[in-house]
Amino acid sequence: MSGHQVQQCLQRAGGKYVDSAKKDIVGALSQFKDLAPGTDTFMFPDGKRRTAFRLKGTIPVYYKGACYNIPVTVYLWDTHPYYAPICYVNPTATMVIKAKISCFPVSGGISISWQHESLCPMYGLGVVVNSATLANAR
């Protein structure tokens, strides 16, 4: 994945910290080769609809000794990497998400215990996505 493509998407989404966000995103993309960058119109939790940078694709999730490729979309605030991303599972028509699985609620949002804290610069986007892949392995 080219850094130039990531930078163009960040600029379309109005990213405020393009250089640091680009570095973080390119690092995550090197770990998760099935994610692709782009932009979408997204309704953020603050109630504002705007163009957002997003990563979309699959991540490997380990559960009870098996690996499943789970389709996800990760939306980034324009202040990334200084604000935690918003992550969703995009279930296929034949996919069943059981409510008992800890970080994948039926609503589709991915909830990681420290995701809502402002720790992204300290951990990086790759660590956030990796946390989702390992959260159910326990």
User: pLDDT tens, 70-117?
Assistant: 898 999 999 999 888 888 888 888 877 665 554 454 444 554 444 444
Distance (Å, rounded) from C-alpha 23 to C-alpha 7? 10
Angle at alpha carbon of residue 109, lines to 106 and 112, rounded to 5°: 110
Is residue 5 within 8 A of residue 37, CB to CB? The reply is: yes
Q: What angle do CA 6, 8, 130 make, to 5 degrees?
A: 20
- At the top level of CATH, the class of 3-132 is alpha beta
- Model pTM? 0.78
Nearest to 88 by CA among 113, 47, 57: 57
